[in-house]
Structure formats: structure tokens, C-alpha cells
Chains A and B, each alone.
Chain A
Amino acid sequence: MAETFNEMVDQGHVREAYRNLEKWQNDMPADLRAMKQNEAEALFRRVGITFAVYGEGGDPERLIPFDMFPRVFTASEWRKLDRGIRQRAAALNAFLADVYDQREIVRAGRVPEHLITHNEAFEKAVVGFRPPRNVWSHIVGIDLVRTGPDQFYVLEDNCRTPSGVSYMLQNREIMMRMFPNLFVENRIAPVDNYADTLRKTLASVAPQKCDRDPTVVILTPGQFNSAYYEHSFLADLMGVELVEGQDLFVEGDFCWMRTTEGPKKVDVIYRRIDDAFIDPLCFRPDSMLGVPGLMNVYRSGGVTICSAPGAGVADDKAIYTFVPEMIRFYLGEAPILENVPTWQCAKADECKYVLENLSELVVKEVHGSGGYGMLVGPKADKATIEAFRAKIEERPWNYIAQPTLALSACPTFVEEGVAPRHVDLRPYCLVGEKIELVPGGLTRVALKEGSLVVNSSQGGGVKDTWVLAE
């Protein structure tokens, strides 16, 4: 494994992005730091940002640990990321439009057909349908890691309903309250227009049948969902209703919301429930979370569902390998952001290589998420590796493998002071009439020394992410 790139101190020098933070860090006495940390925690509790962790017992409403040390990008670093992320979001949408229409990319021999039609996320129900503006994934979360000053890799794409953006916004809010001077001394690009941009993006994909200011709602599975806080937070910031399936019904050509003033037509639904639950008349008949008939209204152009049902076919880990190809195919451009080299265990020769090098690789389930069902070779003991080997041999098509990347590290407050910890980044790209990206994203940090797993469900924390203005 290559040496870790430290984003603040490189070869003994403090890098440009962090120049102002060095003094801030040095000037902060331990007691002030502790006080601020408590204050941050109290603020998070007060606004109620908690998340549910499954299968671990203990407090079900837990706080995600917040690290006060910001993660910083310079304007020029961000410029490249910005271009790369927008490019990728555009290509993923072009791919989805193609997948459900002519499948030119398959005809051209660039992507094997079975990866599309055999994909669990492929929805026969939307083949031939063209959503407004032909946008399928309206909120694209792209997970990035860094390994050097100029080396960024895309770890995975999230085309369905990527979560975590509420942390991006709250982390900034809390930092500005606790350290206003930092924001005076540094020119930090704001992120707080995210909610407004999201609302405009959603409104821009209202169906043609909508002849007035579109009514946008967020559809949540309900208060027991782990991301419920985020759903209500976004609804509140956008000034739109947060609805459950029972609040909506279908009548005639449209979908309606039950209000105290009677039925109100809904034009755009930002849904935070999975495809299978959207409509019991189209998908799982036992779904109580969805709206019966909604898919018919959608497919006849009466309402827009964001992201489009079936959008998940583009963010599968097996399809991931082909994203650079998509960029070349649909956009005629060279990919700006690189993919992590990936071995498909479904292919015999690649699987052989993976099995021979398990101790060096990261192995993931094709449909897994949240860092579960994952093997980090260099961090695993022999027994774990052997157990995983058996799993791969049994169901090779279910796994892909990647080299263990030397994730960059950022200074992080720890027990003993400040120490480098590994981080990743999830920016949120909005696709509607225009492609929009707020400068920043969610930085997740592995709080355990040496750990590469940044998932909040497994001991990860979050940081405010700064992009310095030009």
C-alpha cells in the first residue's frame, strides 16, 4: 500500500489550502477545544440530527461524530472536481436515457446487455418512457477519494437517493456559529443555496401538463426511517411538504395531496423510498409506503418522480466500470475523474487474480452499501480472509475487487490533539434544466487510527468541507 497523502502537511510544508488553519489549530487551547466540541454536540442534539444504526443495539438515535477540523480544497483543486463531477452526472443521465430507450451503447458493443437487463435495478415498467427533460437521476452523489495532490478517484456513484446532504449543510451552519472568525479570515464558498437550488431543480422537471408554479413534495417512508431527519430537514429548508404515501392519492390523470383545504395537485415528488415500494399496483403489491396508481400517473405524464424509478441501473458496482466508457460514448469527452481499477469476480481470469491477492485488495458486494459485506484485505486477519474467499468462490458474480487505495488523510481532533485520519468526499450534483453543484460536499472521516472505513454506521464521522473562493 502506497504512502498516505496528508492533505495539510506535505513533505514538511503546510499546503496552501490549510495555511490559515495552522494558526487556528495552534492557538486553540485544549480546554477551549473541549468546550467547543461539547457545544457542537449540544447543537446537533438540539436540532435533532441523529441517525439510526441497525443491528447494533444501544441508543437507536445516535449522533454522527462531528469533527471540527475542516477539510479544505483550494479553488483550483475544486475546479477540476467540479468539471469532473458534472461530466459524470451528465454521462450517467445520458446512459439511463439510453438504457430505457434505444440502448445504443449496447448496440455499439460498449456495455454488455446482460449487465443492464439482468440488473435488479432495471425496471421494465419504464422502458420507452421519457421523463421531463429526459433527466433520470436528479441528485447524483459521487463518492470520491484522493490519493495525492492531483489524484482523485471515483469510488462509486449514487443515482437513486443519496443521503447525507443535511450533514453538509448542518456542519457548515455549526462551524459558522462556533468559529465566525474563521469565516472572516478565510474566503469560503457558501453551500447554503443548496436547498434553493434543489427546489429549482425539482421544479424544472415538472411535467408538461403542469401549467402553474409546480407543487414539489418529499416522499418519506416515515419517521422510523434512519434518514427521516434529513427528509424533514430538506422539506423545511425548501418550504415543501414532507409527505408519506398515505398523504397522496391518485385520481384521474393526477396525483393529489390530502390537505386541510382539500386535495391539492402534486407535480414533482422527490421520493426517498425505494423503487419496489413506490406503487403496489406496479411493483411490490404488499407495499404500504407507496401510492397505488402513482406509476401510471408518472408514465402518462401527470407527475414527475425524482429520481426516476429504474435509475439505480446506472449506479450498480458492475456498471461502475463502464462509466468512463459512457463519458466517451455519450459526451465524446475524455473522463476528467478516474475510476478505481476494478476486477469483476464474474470474469474467471479476474476472479482468479482476486483470490490470489485477497490480502491486498478491497472486495465489495455488487449490490452492497454502507460498508457492509466488504473485505479490506490489508486490515483483515487470516480467518476473515479465508471466510471471504469461500463466499467469493460460492457466488463470484456477487463481488468486485479494487486495490486498497491509500486514502488521503486530513488533520482531525483526537484524544491526544490533532492527528491525520482517512477521509472521502461525497458532493451532490443536481440535474434538471441545468446541472448544478454547490462547492463542497460531505467529508466523511474514519475516526479510528489507520481505519479506511468512513461509513457512519461503522464508526465514521463527518467534517465541514471548504472550498476556498478564488
Chain B
Amino acid sequence: MLSRTASHLYWMARYLERAETTARLLQMGGRNALLPDIGGGYRNDWEAVLQALGQLEAFREKYSDPNQRNVETFLFFDSSNPASVMSCIANARENARVVRTALTSQVWDAINTSFQEMQEFHRTERSKLLLNDMTDWALRAGALIRGAISGTQLRDDGYRFIGLGYTVERADNTARLLDVKYYVLLPSLSYVGSALDQTQWATLLRSMQAHRAFVWSYKGEITAAKIADLLILNRQFPRSLLSATQESVDHLEALSRGYKQPSRAATVARGLLGEIAELSVEDIFDEGLHQFLLRFMRRNDQIAAAVQATYLSGVPE
């Protein structure tokens, strides 16, 4: 397959995943804003959302006040913000449009329809839009597209590049989100076990749409260790770092098999998987959660770079 085609498929998926991440964060922020103001208050929470997306600076350049309305605008509609839902969906659609013949009509339909509905939202008067409706819509659109891909795309190399786009981005997003909130999970702070902890932890789980998953997987008390286990090491949870990495490895191995040539990208990905597969939460806390996450993100970037060099540039390494 043309490297450029693979590249468009891969980036289409990365943008789709990113759109969902932004929507999830917005949803969490919106919910937090309804809770009583304890500790830093809602203001800090909106800033944390922006920080998780790496957009705090950009936001401050455009808006003075991080109130909900401004953050909503910035994260949902602002086409100058590359992480906004609107930008991500538009970019995903643009990538899809260029390689339409590599997508089934169902997938194209799902992406194109989402884009059209997004435009529709944009034209709607803001006072008539509820944040929850918007984020629900975005997450539903994401699920629809994902479903169309999984239900109709041929399991060929193109499918693997789409898959890789999703998993590489997902691993990065989860790690980033955790990193912004890592201090919440540190056991040493004074308010261990306090109401604030409980709230913060619940919020974090919610931002990953992991609250129910948590309740089902871990009995009893919410603890920092359990949360870290869920989001980093739980193979059953689809957005955990281990799950995402495992899926990256699966896609890369499928590509190597299909092309009948081993790739450096697969080696790099297997390396990372090997590093984290046998870890325990204690190991991670011993290393330092922040240090661990930085290391993980760096290694995940190396996978992305190897994918780029091996498959998307079209010249031999």
C-alpha cells in the first residue's frame, strides 16, 4: 500500500481517538463544576483539563478567564485549537477523504456524517447547547465510527494502520491524563483518605469513563494503587497503558507477518510491552509515577517514530 495512504489512515485514527479524549475531559470538567468547591475549586479543574491536553498556554493567550463557557468554546468548537473536538473531527475527515477508496462506504459515511453534524452544532445557537449533549454526541460518533471500522473494514494492512493510529494515540492520551493528575495518586500527601481524595479519584476514573469498570473489577475501597493498576496494568480495561501497548504490538506483528519482513517498529513495541507487562503497582510507585509516565510516553513516541520510519516514509531504513 502507498505510504501516503497508510499515513492518512493512521492519522485519521489518531485524530478520532484524540477527539474522544477531548470530549471525555470536557465531560469530566463539566461534571466537576457541579460539585461543591473544595480544595482548589472548579477553576483548578478546568485548568487541569487544559493542561492534560497540553493546551493551557494556548488557552491563556486567547481567553482571560478559564470559565466553563470559554473552555467549552476552546475545546469543542475552536478550529484554531488542534485538540478541539471540531479540529480533530475535521482533520480525521480530511485524512479519510483523501483515501476514501481505502475505506468502506460505511466508515466513510460514519466519519462524514459526524463531520456534517459537527457543522450543524457549530451553526446552532450556543445557549441551546448543553455541554453534556455535545460530549455525549462526540463519544457516540466516535463509537459509531469505531464500530463501522471494526464491522466492515477488511483485515488488511490498511486496517492495521488505522488500529495503530488508535492505540498509539490512546496510550499517549491515557499517560498524559494520568500524568496531569499523578499527584492525586501519591500516597504520601496529607489528605490521604480524605473526602478530597475520594472526589479527585472518582473524577479521574470518570475522565477515563472507567468508573464502572473500576467498580466491577476492584472490590471495596477506592485506593490510589487500585486506580493506578486499572489505568496502567489492567489487561481487561481497554484504555490502560498495557492494553493499548499490547494492541500496538498485535497490529505491528500482523503487519510484519503480512509483509513477510520483520520490522524495527514491532521490536520497539515489543520492548515496551516487555517492560511493563510484568510490573506491579509497587514497582511503579517505587520508580515514581511521574518518572514512569514520562518514560512510557517517550517509549510510546519511539514506537510512533519507528512506524513513521518503517512504513510511512516509503524508503528503506
Contacts and interface: CB of A to CB of B under 8 A. Distances in A.
Chains A and B touch (C-beta atoms under 8 A apart): yes
Size class of B's contact patch? 20 to 34
B2 A262 contact: no
A257 B2 CA distance: 7
Interface of A is mostly: mixed
B100 A261 contact: no
A258 B3 contact: yes
Interface residues of A, number: 20
Interface string A116-151: 000000000000000000000000000000000000
A368 interface: no
Taking each of A242, A249, A259, which has the highest tally of chain B beta carbons within 10 Å of its own beta carbon?
Answer: A259
A259 B100 contact: no
A442 to B, nearest CB: 22
Interface string A245-273: 01101000000011111110000000000
A325 interface: no
A262 B316 contact: yes
A260 B259 contact: yes
A243 B4 CA distance: 9
Interface string B97-119: 11011000100000000000000
Interface in B224-269: 255, 259, 261
A247 B3 CA distance: 7
Contacts, number: 51
A261 B259 contact: yes
Contacts of A262: 314-316
Given A257-B314, A260-B157, A261-B261, A246 B4 contact: yes
Interface in A9-36: none
B31 to A, nearest CB: 40
B1 interface: yes
Contacts of B259: 260-261
B121 to A, nearest CB: 21
Interface string B76-105: 000000000000000000000110110001
Q: What are the 4 A-B residue pairs with the smallest beta carbon separation, nearest first?
A: A258-B314, A258-B3, A260-B311, A260-B6
Interface of A: 46, 48, 223, 232, 235-236, 241-244, 246-247, 249, 257-263
24 contacts: A223-B97, A223-B98, A236-B101, A241-B2, A243-B2, A243-B4, A246-B4, A247-B2, A247-B3, A247-B4, A249-B315, A258-B2, A258-B313, A259-B1, A259-B2, A260-B2, A260-B3, A260-B161, A260-B259, A260-B312, A261-B259, A262-B314, A263-B315, A263-B316
